[in-house]
Chains A and B, each alone.
Chain A
C-alpha cells in the first residue's frame, strides 16, 4: 500500500508563495448602486468553493438577488468553482435576479470558454461596467 503523504499547509506556503502572500480564499461583499458586489480573492477549488457557495446562499436567503462576483483577484478556478457559480446563478434566477462576473484574466476566462459558460454568464471588465450593463437591461 502506498505511503500516505500529508503536506501541511505551512510547507506548501513556504515552498510556493512565501509565507506572507499566501491566501487560499478571501471573501468580502458590499452593496453598490443596489447591487451586491462579492469580492473574491485567492483560489476557488474543491477545498475552498464551499465557502463561496455558503456566502452566495446566505446572500440570496437575505434577499440579495442582483449579484456581481468580482473575480479580478482570483488566482485559480476549477470546475468545482464553476459549479458554485452556476448554482448561485440558478438561485438568483429563481427570484428573477442576476449573477454577473467581473474578470479580465485570460487564465480564468479560458475555463469559461472551454466549458461554454461565457454564454451563460455576463462577464465584464470592471465592476462599474457590470453594474451599468445590469442597469441597462432593467
Chain B
C-alpha cells in the first residue's frame, strides 16, 4: 500500500499541488536534499503529461499519484486513464498549445533524465509512469 495517495482533477492548476505533495513526502522519506529538485521536476512532468492525456480523452476522470517509501527507495507512480494517442508514447505536455515546438514524448525523456529508475507501462486503459530514487533506509 502506498504511503500517500493523491487523486486530483485533471486541470493544469493542480499539477503544482502534486509537485508539492511529492516533494514533501520525498523529504519526509529521507530522499537527499540534492535529489528533491529532481523529484519535483520529474513528478511535475509526469502529472503534466497525465493531465494533457485526460483533457484529450476523459476530462472528468482524476489523475492518480501513489507515493511509496520503503526498502531504501522512494517510489512515485503517476497513473492516467487517458486513451493512448494514435502514434508514439503519448503527446508531451511540452508540445501542447505551441504547435510542435518539442517532439512528442519529450516529457518522458526528461523524466528518464531525472529519475534514478523509470518504468513506463502503457495499456489500453492509459499510462502508468513509475519512478524511484534512493531514500534513507528505515531504522530497525
A interface: dominant SS: helix
Point out the residues of chain B lying under 8 angstroms from A12, CB to CB.
Answer: 16-17, 20
CB contact between A46 and one of B12, B41, B64, B99 (< 8 Å): that residue: B12
Taking A6-B8, A115-B109 as given, write out 9 further A-B residue pairs in contact, using a Cβ cutoff of 8 Å, ordered by the A residue number: A5-B6, A7-B14, A15-B20, A46-B48, A47-B16, A53-B98, A78-B44, A86-B101, A115-B110
Q: How far is the CB of A81 from chain B (nearest CB, A)?
A: 9
Q: Does A72 contact B (CB under 8 A)?
A: no
**Cβ of B37 and Cβ of A107 under 8 Å apart?**
yes
Task: Tell me the total A-B contact number using a CB cutoff of 8 A.
Answer: 103
Query: In terms of DSSP, what is the predominant structure of the interface of chain B?
Result: helix
Chain B CB within 10 Å, residue with most, of A3, A80, A87: A80
CA–CA, A82 and B92, complex, Å: 12
Interface pair A79/B93, CB less than 8 Å apart: yes
The answer to whether A82 and B16 have CB atoms under 8 Å apart is no
Contact with B along A39-56 (1 / 0, CB 8 A): 000010111001001000
Q: Is there a chain B Cβ closer than 8 Å to A76's Cβ?
A: yes
The answer, among B19, B64, B114, for a CB contact under 8 Å with A2, is B64
